[in-house]
């Protein structure tokens, strides 16, 4: 069953969470014990303590517009582990990944903490920023075609951390605009600390 695409307002709600969660550098999520007595044969469990911002983004992601009832039939862990896939993800792909992230906590306490701290949630939201910017012009298909024939300059840069979406200039995640080719990093960009594109020697 084909679900209607999320509205721009629903996209904007999630996008607004991006700076709230990732705007101050690496995300720190505290853990709290369950109060079990310190006895050798008793396993003491700990649980993440989520901030209001993190609880809010997952509350939005749990809305019907972002749910994929068939997510369990898809290899979502592989999707989340591949930053190149996320960079090209469609709205339906984002819906699938968000459903998995929301429901993962039911089966594995602390799962959401891993998604947040690994930067996977950040990559999803940054991809949504790109899709949202193109929503008015209905250019998403064109965007996908351009991505398929172009290779981000990051892949040929000495600063890139292979098989990730990070580099020496952006250790917490390369700007989506650079990865998509919309920004040329041969010139300094905000937040890069003066580290720019440097091609790998032949």
pLDDT reported for residue 151: 61
pLDDT confidence band for 144 (50 / 70 / 90): very low
Q: What is the pLDDT of residue 2?
A: 60
d(CA 15, CA 178): 18
> Span 165-188, mean pLDDT?
84
pLDDT tens per residue across span 5-34? 788 889 999 989 888 888 776 666 776 655
Q: Tell me, yes or no, if the pTM score tops 0.85.
A: no
| pLDDT the model gives residue 181 | 73
Q: What percent of the chain is modeled with pLDDT above 90?
A: 34
SS3 assignment for the chain = CCCCCCCHHHHHHHHCHHHHHHCCCCCCCEEEECCCCCCCCCCCCEEEECCHHHHHHHHHHCCHHHCCCCHHHCCHHHHHHCHHHHHHCCHHHHHHHHHHHHHHHHHCCCHHHHHHHHCHHHHHHHHHHHHHHHHCCCCHHHHHHHHHHCCCHHHHECCECCCCCCECCCCCCCCHHHHHCCCCCCCCCCCCCCCCCCECCC
pLDDT: which is higher, 49 or 116: 116
Would you state the pLDDT for residue 180? 73
For residues 146-166, average pLDDT? 73
% of residues, the chain, pLDDT over 70: 79
Task: Identify the burial level of 95 via C-beta atoms within 10 angstroms of its C-beta, where 0-12 means exposed, 13-18 middle and 19 or more buried.
Answer: buried
Backbone phi and psi for residue 110, each to the nearest 5 degrees, phi listed first: 100, 0
Mean pLDDT of 95-118: 92
pLDDT tens column, 37-90? 454 444 455 678 888 889 999 999 999 999 999 999 999 999 999 988 998 899
Least confident of 48-52, 81-85, 97-101, 144-148: 144-148
pLDDT of residue 189: 85
The more confidently predicted of residues 104 and 191 is 104
Q: Which two tokens stand for residue 162?
A: 């292979």
pLDDT at residue 130 is higher than 90? no
Alpha carbon of residue 5 to chain centroid: 19
Instruction: Using the predicted structure, report yes or no on whether residue 168 has a pLDDT greater than 50.
Output: yes
């Amino acid at each position: 069953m084909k679900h209607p695409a999320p509205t721009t307002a629903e996209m904007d709600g999630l996008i607004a969470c991006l700076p709230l969660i990732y705007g101050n550098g690496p995300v720190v999520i505290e853990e709290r014990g369950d109060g079990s007595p310190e006895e050798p044969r008793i396993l003491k469990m700990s649980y993440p303590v989520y901030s209001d911002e993190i609880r809010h983004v997952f509350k939005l992601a749990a809305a019907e517009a972002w749910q994929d009832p068939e997510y369990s039939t898809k290899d979502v862990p592989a999707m989340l582990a591949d930053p190149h896939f996320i960079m090209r993800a469609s709205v339906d792909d984002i819906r699938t990944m968000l459903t998995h992230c929301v429901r993962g906590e039911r089966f594995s306490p602390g799962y959401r903490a891993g998604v947040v701290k690994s930067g996977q949630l950040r990559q999803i939201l940054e991809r949504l920023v790109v899709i949202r910017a193109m929503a008015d012009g209905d250019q998403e298909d064109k965007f996908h075609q351009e991505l398929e024939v172009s290779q981000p300059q990051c892949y040929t840069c000495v600063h890139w951390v292979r098989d990730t979406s990070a580099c020496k200039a952006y250790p917490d995640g390369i700007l989506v605009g650079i990865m998509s080719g919309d920004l040329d990093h041969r010139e300094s960009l905000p937040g890069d600390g003066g580290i720019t594109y440097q091609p790998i020697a032949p």
